[in-house]
Copies of this chain bind each other. A is one copy, B any other.
Amino acid sequence: MTEQTRPTKLGRLATYADRTLPVLREMILDGKLPPGERLNEVHLSQALGISRGPLREAINRLAVEGLVEAVTHRGVYVRSFSARELSDFYELRVALETHAARLAARYAPQERIDELSHMLDETEQAMGNDAAGAYPASPDFHARLSRLAANPPLLQSLTEVGRKIQLARARSAHQPQRARVALDEHRAITAALSARDGEHAAALLEAHLTSSLNNALAVLRAAEPK
């Protein structure tokens, strides 16, 4: 029984600010608060049923995470990223994730890598029929891969840059025709890990992320020619 809207009395563990942060983050990443949108403290606090204090704390944390931008005396806005910034984010992600792959190739227990393979098997089976279907499990693959590095700070940084990328890509839905290609690339990366060839895994991963970036950039430019 997991309630989430306790009218007046505070729940036992988490504080209002703690609980509001993920709500706001999801509103932004879901597009309910699109890039450029202003976050009105009064309206939002009333909508969420809390006062401005805890709301401001949650918003502040979002600002540190880089999802919103606070301008003194003028309000906070959902960040809107340029193509250049999206590229920078991907480059940062390459730095982190390729290193995670190298670490995983060296230190991850074999059974964890096998789990990755099994997950890809299941995904392939699930999508097998409609070959041009989506690939919703792709972020999950990258998250599990990053976890194999067994380095919490590294994983944390990857999570944060991942959110910024998600926001930057906003409405550029992933093209379904890349699903099959992406799956194959994930397989190759996993195979390299299994062979304990970190450099090869890193190279494959970098190529994989680069084509993902190019895909996103193409969609972006198509949406906004200038």
- Chain A residues with a Cβ under 8 A of chain B: 13-15, 17-18, 53, 56-57, 60-61, 63-66, 72, 85, 88-89, 91-92, 94-96, 98-100, 103, 151-154, 157, 161, 164
Contacts and interface: CB of A to CB of B under 8 A. Distances in A.
Contacts of A66: 153
A89 B157 CA distance: 11
Contact of A88 (B56, B57, B152): B152
A74 B13 CA distance: 12
> What does DSSP make chain A's interface, helix, strand, loop or mixed?
helix
A169 to B, nearest CB: 15
6 contacts: A85-B153, A89-B153, A91-B99, A92-B153, A92-B154, A94-B99
B72 A15 contact: yes
Given A18-B72, A72-B18, A151 B64 contact: no
A154 to B, nearest CB: 5
Given A61-B60, A64-B64, A94-B99, A14 B72 contact: yes
A88 B14 contact: no
Contacts of A92: 96, 151, 153-154, 157
Given A60-B61, A64-B65, A157-B157, 6 more contacts: A60-B60, A91-B99, A91-B154, A92-B157, A95-B99, A157-B161
A79 to B, nearest CB: 12
Contacts of A152: 88
Nearest to A161: B153
Nearest to A58: B60
What are the 10 closest A-B residue pairs judged by CB atoms, nearest first? A95-B99, A64-B64, A92-B154, A88-B151, A92-B153, A88-B153, A61-B64, A57-B60, A60-B60, A95-B96
Contact of A95 (B18, B53, B91, B154): B154
Nearest to A18: B72
Contacts of A100: 95
Contacts of A98: 95, 99
Contacts of A157: 92, 157, 161
